[in-house]
Structure 1
């Protein structure tokens, strides 16, 4: 049972780290290169499928790592607990920092005519995104170490 849980935890944390890394590597620079109105339009399109999917992947991976922390023994237990905490950190940064910014961008009704008080959220969004990307990569590494220690 621990082998199957380990594979699933690695898969989930790998997908999480991979998606967040790809966004940091390619999507963010593209969004920064766009004029503000085009960015708002693109942001709305990009968020359609990420928003419902990624929370399930991240929290599912966290649950798998937590389950492994409960059933594993020795050093693996501590590693899986640490991976679960890191994935919980990814979720917390997402929900408390990036999602509120996403909501503000999605609230713009006309990307061609931005409100006078509109402030470009891309630099702040990038900082939070890079934090959660680092947490996700660390979770993947720690989960891999945990699977190795089983």
Structure 2
């Protein structure tokens, strides 16, 4: 009974994570790249308000479901669940070590007082975001294939 429940959790969780990150990459990132710095900072501050703790909790819970499946699922699916958990841990690491520090800097910036020597964080943030998006999509694919083997 636990394996099917964990499988549903892994699929739903990785699907939501991949979908949210993909939507941000497809729509939000290009829109924010087109904004002048003051508007970008203001918008970034608004958009980041509800990200924590929802997404970190979802990513880590889904990685936990994958880990549970790696222990309980049939042998042919185990390596896929391990790889999916690894990808989701990668999403978490990229988020916490790369995107979150940038987010904190942007949150501290006064949108009405952008200095002339301001270093635009958008290119770096985008690169890190695309990496975590790719990891999330790979996790979803791995979970999808693995659950067909259970």
TM-score between both structures, scaled by the size of structure 2: 0.97
Paired with 2:104 and 2:70, the residues of 1 have a C-alpha distance of: 35
Alignment match, 2:40: 39
Displacement of 1:115: 2.7
Alignment match, 1:140: 140
Over aligned residues, Cα RMSD in angstroms? 0.8
| TM-superposition CA deviations, 1:57-113 (whole Å, max 9, x none) | 1111111101110111211111100100000000000000000000110111x2021
Structure 2: segments with no counterpart, 5+ residues: none
Paired with 2:53 and 2:114, the residues of 1 have a C-alpha distance of: 26
Determine if the alignment matches structure 1 residue 72 to structure 2 residue 111.
no
Paired with 1:66 and 1:120, the residues of 2 have a C-alpha distance of: 38
Give every structure 1 segment of 4 or more consecutive aligned residues whose post-TM-superposition deviation is greater than 4 Å. Answer: none
Paired with 2:129 and 2:143, the residues of 1 have a C-alpha distance of: 21
Alignment match, 1:25: 26
Determine if the alignment matches structure 1 residue 11 to structure 2 residue 12.
yes
Paired with 2:79 and 2:134, the residues of 1 have a C-alpha distance of: 20
Aligned pairs, number: 149
Paired with 1:115 and 1:29, the residues of 2 have a C-alpha distance of: 23
Structure 1: segments with no counterpart, 5+ residues: none
SS in 2 for 1:51: coil
